[in-house]
Structure 1
């Protein structure tokens, strides 16, 4: 094993982790799904796999192509902003008018809930321009500086994504005692709504 392998992978892990840890629409959704124990595995898998694909594209040089056609980010920004605002409004409605059974339960998840969670997760991931800016452009440009070790750097970033989303999704269950109270879910939904609405508005303003 090359002496430069571990430092490059470690740098990729640290860089990737620093970009995804900040609370955002995707993290808020994974936290909510994990706390409720609903479709955790597919949601975590989608987030980690999507990041892996985007990081690989960035390392391969797709960032230069995206930069050459700025309207691409504008289109994604408009679609993503509109989606985040709609999701934020739904979270605000849940906070204002919580449905029966809002507290955390251990019952199985219906197929429809899994399907809805998967579709929402895909939208939150692929309609967010920040995902492309962070993973494709930023990580891709940093990886390029590693030269022949750029894929090692990228692999480290992929591991960071997998570790973060798995920890967030499954670690949220540790809050089960707290989230067994409906009032706690109202607070969480308020935070989710505020995050989604703020990010959605910001995306729409930047896409203009």
Structure 2
């Protein structure tokens, strides 16, 4: 294999390892996939956003830390507040059956509201910047001239993952035809988001 192909495969593997973990963005894509609600748009927004962030990380991963050393703390605090707020909303859905979409194909949210939520969960999540821009960017930089192949592989990984998550979720729809399954899902999302938010808050203080 050529150096470029090896770098691309390395980027694909690392990109998948960073985004497969449960998080706010993945939880949202899963929920949209289960509801069959604006899945294509959600997958596209997530994949394109990841590609932009990956390119930004590869182009200048060290710029932020060198010129704005306090920016990481600000990002962590803002992200913690956002994640904790999202955890509260998920907990409310789990505790209040009336707030749960029992029928995945039932009442649909508007396209604009869905896109705004998706963008917020992507761009206001500090883990995206810490993992994609800083970590992935620094690893890509070590590849030298192969760093752009590495970035391309990581971007392809994002496309594959979000497509599989968004469209594969429909296979679980029989399970989520029961209200209890939605309550468990939202309770799990609330716990994960709360833990992520508290972790960021502790790291920033």
Instruction: Give the TM bin, normalised by the shorter chain.
Output: over 0.9
Find the aligned partners of 2:5 and 2:107 in 1 and give their Cα distance. 42
Find the aligned partners of 1:108 and 1:177 in 2 and give their Cα distance. 18
SS of residue paired to 1:70: coil
Find the aligned partners of 1:66 and 1:203 in 2 and give their Cα distance. 18
Q: Match of 1:51?
A: 50
Find the aligned partners of 2:20 and 2:97 in 1 and give their Cα distance. 29
Q: 2:93, 2:99 within 8 Å by CA — same for their partners in 1?
A: no
Find the aligned partners of 2:139 and 2:39 in 1 and give their Cα distance. 31
Q: 2:104, 2:176 within 8 Å by CA — same for their partners in 1?
A: no
Query: Which string of whole-angstrom CA distances, capped at 9 and with x for unpartnered residues, describes residues 88-110 of structure 1?
Result: 11111111111166223335734
Q: 1:77, 1:127 within 8 Å by CA — same for their partners in 2?
A: no
Q: 2:80, 2:196 within 8 Å by CA — same for their partners in 1?
A: yes
Q: Match of 2:136?
A: 139
Asked if 1:65 corresponds to 2:63, the answer is: yes
The alpha-carbon distance between structure 1 residues 196 and 107, as it changes in their structure 2 partners (threshold 3 A), is: same
Residue from 188, 192, 198 that aligns with 1:191: 188
Q: Give, in angstroms, the shift of residue 193 of structure 1.
A: 0.7
Given the two structures, how large is their TM-score scaled by the length of structure 2?
0.93
Q: 1:81, 1:201 within 8 Å by CA — same for their partners in 2?
A: yes
Structure 1, unpaired ranges of 5+? none
Find the aligned partners of 1:104 and 1:39 in 2 and give their Cα distance. 16
Q: Match of 2:153?
A: 156
Q: RMSD in angstroms over aligned alpha carbons? A: 1.6
Alignment map for 1:84-103 (pairs within 5 Å) = 84-99=83-98, 102-103=101-102
Given the two structures, how large is their TM-score scaled by the length of structure 1?
0.92
Asked if 1:79 corresponds to 2:78, the answer is: yes
